[in-house]
Chain A
Amino acid sequence: GDSVTQMEGPVTLSEEAFLTINCTYTATGYPSLFWYVQYPGEGLQLLLKATKADDKGSNKGFEATYRKETTSFHLEKGSVQVSDSAVYFCALTHMAGNNRKLIWGLGTSLAVNP
């Protein structure tokens, strides 16, 4: 079945460091890919998305490129801030047919120190 694998956390970085959180997937067809962020004690917020191969999603300085050849959607940010400390979830869903559930990774916790 479809699945999403994220790198295990916690990831700890100093402010202004470069961030990469790896996400790979297994899916049939052509899924859409998402990154969500969860700040402490809150629900999830959509961070960015990509709907087809080679699309790049971007938001708030974060970027991820849909790589079909490597089945990956790695999240990157050039310079993290303390306010980026949160849990990041990678997810996929199919855009067609009756199956419209999201398949979730387990989440990667990021802590950014000043």
Chain B
Amino acid sequence: DGGITQSPKYLFRKEGQNVTLSCEQNLNHDAMYWYRQDPGQGLRLIYYSQIVNDFQKGDIAEGYSVSREKKESFPLTVTSAQKNPTAFYLCASSQQGFAQHFGDGTRLSIL
């Protein structure tokens, strides 16, 4: 079945550490997105990519980085510069202009 796979489901970060969240899709979608979800704040866009080797900052990109070397993959790195990284992270993909499909999310916590 086609879909979006996020891993790991749960992730723990130590102070000063960078961690990378994986997002893979086999839907052949051009566009991919990373969102952060905090209680009561809905979804906030971190980064998005409309084509391979290109990506744009969303509303809250500080402390995060991404790459888009392959159409299927859009990993998100939460750097040590992100001072409040505890959140639920959601990856999505879409064909240009159409509805987004979501993975099951990664919950990141601080040790």
Chain A residues with a Cβ under 8 A of chain B: 32, 34, 36, 41-46, 49, 89, 93-96, 100-102, 104-107
The digit string for B82-105, where 1 denotes a CB below 8 A from any CB of A, is 000000001010101101111111
29 contacts between A and B (CB under 8 A): A32-B97, A36-B102, A41-B105, A42-B104, A43-B90, A43-B105, A44-B90, A44-B100, A44-B102, A46-B99, A46-B100, A46-B101, A89-B42, A89-B43, A93-B97, A94-B97, A95-B97, A96-B97, A100-B50, A100-B97, A101-B33, A101-B48, A102-B100, A104-B42, A104-B43, A105-B42, A106-B40, A106-B41, A106-B42
- What residue of chain A has the Cβ atom nearest to residue B91's Cβ? A43
Asked if B45 is an interface residue, CB under 8 A from chain A, the answer is yes
| Range for the number of chain B residues in contact with chain A | 20 to 34
B31 in the interface, Cβ–Cβ < 8 Å?
yes
Within 8 A of A (CB), among B61-88: none
- Contact B102 A107, beta carbon cutoff 8 Å: no
Q: Are A49 and B99 in contact (CB under 8 A)?
A: yes
Q: Which chain A residues lie closer than 8 Å to B97 at the CB level?
A: 32, 93-96, 100
Q: B4-30: which have CB < 8 Å to A?
A: 4, 6
Flag if B45 contacts A101 (CB, 8 Å). yes
Residues of A within 8 A of B4 (CB): 43
Q: A72 CA to B103 CA in the complex, in Å?
A: 28
Residue of B nearest to A49 (CB): B99
- State the Cβ distance, A51 to closest chain B Cβ, in Å: 10
What A residues does B40 contact at CB under 8 A? 106
A66 to chain B, nearest CB (A): 14
- Which single residue of chain B is at the shortest CB-CB distance from A94? B97
Question: B90 near A34 (CB under 8 angstroms)?
Answer: no
Residues from chain B with Cβ under 8 Å of A43 in the complex: 4, 6, 90, 102-105
B40 to chain A, nearest CB (A): 7
- B43, A42: Cβ atoms closer than 8 Å: no
